[in-house]
Amino acid sequence: MGRQTLKAIGFYEHGDIDKLQFLELPRPEPARGEVLINVKAVALNHLDLWVLGGLPALKLEMPHIGGSDIAGLIAGLGDGVVGLQVGQRVVVNPTLSCGNCAWCRRGEDSLCDEFGVIGEHCRGGAAEYVVVPARNVMPMPDDFSFIEAAAVPLVFLTAWRALITRGQLRPGESVLILGASGGVASAAIQIARLAGATVYAVTSSPDKMEKARALGADWVVDRTQENWSSAVYNATNRQGVDLVLENVGAATWFDSLRSARKGGRIVTYGATSGPRPQTDIRYIFWKQLTILGTTMSTRSEFDDVMNLVWQGKLKPVVDSVFPMEEAHAAYRRLQAGEQFGKVVIEIG
Ligand SMILES: [Zn+2]
């Protein structure tokens, strides 16, 4: 019998979506402390487009396979793995940490000296099989679909840490969420509502406004129709909001500072429009703003988020599902920014 293989969608060189190709590779064996997952669904993130395009500090072993958000069945156990069984339905925490450094010992895994993300720093789940650390795996309820489970981790974890852990969002506060159709934003609207906050959202079409309201946004503005920062200012009785969730960067930073109320917080987790914004330091000291950075999440935040999802208090937002054969179309939908919520690839 020949060596077992897997089908995957991956790339040998960085570039545009046309660099993605269908691959047939040897199936990996789980090492000590690892499990082999038979992937059933993988959700895409903008991270996948950036990794495909190439990130300056990221040196990858080629071919690389993306895909950070993985749900599937356990297909093999490495030595020393306890408490998990072959055939179990699981969802995967995409955050990699060493468990050993000073940050990890403090429970601050996302500051780990060896921090990484599955699908970015190592091969991900856009494949029939992937090997992951056993401690990243969480069993999922039988009544939850693989597609819904895969749509959760990266965006909900990012939004949860940004709003709750870093932003310290409190009941009765107001929060402004930019780019409300993105994966993190559609998670953030729900988390902010669950936390008892009033949600202001910025989006870019009547259809997306309707969807943001359906998720729980109290007030929505179409940035293509009016100046969103002025609209927020007016909608808050010229006060501004307590917390601005920022991921756009250069294009919005100045207006985000303007939209925060006195004593407010800006929590930043991305810079999709560029990392070097125009800023006005006077807004920061006059209004006594606090600027907080955040990235990914810790293991305990993964537990908190997934338990709220299993209880139905947070709901994954699936925009579209593509079979693996149409993976290029899935990547293109994400790149075009047409989606509301997660683009998911169903495997097998
Ligand atoms: Zn560590």
Residue 89 burial (CB count, 10 A): 17
pLDDT exceeds cutoff 60 at 1: no
Q: Residues 90-100: pLDDT tens digits? A: 999 999 999 99
pLDDT exceeds cutoff 90 at 345: yes
Average pLDDT over residues 319-327: 97
Ligand 1 centroid – CA 300 distance (Å):
14
Confidence band (pLDDT; 50, 70, 90) for 226?
A: very high
Nearest to 120, CA basis, from 275, 245, 14:
14
Which residue is listed with tokens 């010229």? Answer: 238
Q: Residues 21-66: pLDDT tens digits? A: 999 999 999 999 999 999 999 999 999 999 999 988 889 999 999 9
Residue 110 sits in the same domain as residue 137: yes
Considering the domain boundaries, does residue 303 fall inside one? no
Residue 27 sits in the same domain as residue 104: yes
The distance of Cα 263 from the centroid of its chain, to the nearest Å, equals: 28
Ligand 1 centroid – CA 96 distance (Å):
9
Burial of 257 (0-12, 13-18, 19+ CB in 10 A): buried
Q: Residues 143-194: pLDDT tens digits? A: 999 999 999 999 999 999 999 999 999 999 999 999 877 889 999 999 999 9
Which residue is listed with tokens 């029939």? Answer: 128
pLDDT exceeds cutoff 70 at 123: yes
Burial of 154 (0-12, 13-18, 19+ CB in 10 A): buried
3-state secondary structure of 87: coil
**DSSP conformation letters of 35-77:** EEEEEEEEE--HHHHHHHH--TT---PSSEE---EEEEEEEEE
Ligand 1 centroid – CA 139 distance (Å):
24
Ligand 1 centroid – CA 157 distance (Å):
18
Which spans in the chain are helix H?
A: 46-53, 102-105, 146-150, 153-160, 183-194, 206-215, 228-235, 253-259, 281-286, 299-310, 327-336
- Ligand 1 is an ion; its neighbours by CB within 5 Å are 97-98, 101, 104, 112
Ligand 1 centroid – CA 105 distance (Å):
7
Residue 21 sits in the same domain as residue 138: yes
Q: Which amino acid is at 105?
A: R
Quote the number of domains for the chain: 2
Average pLDDT over residues 310-330: 97
Average pLDDT over residues 284-289: 97
Average pLDDT over residues 78-95: 98
pLDDT exceeds cutoff 90 at 110: yes
* Residue-number span of the structural domain to which 180 is assigned: 156-293
Q: Which amino acid is at 148?
A: E
Considering the domain boundaries, does residue 311 fall inside one? no
Ligand 1 centroid – CA 299 distance (Å):
12
Give me the pLDDT at residue 180, please: 72
Residue 181 maps to which CATH number? Answer: 3.90.180.10
pLDDT exceeds cutoff 90 at 7: yes
pLDDT exceeds cutoff 90 at 19: yes
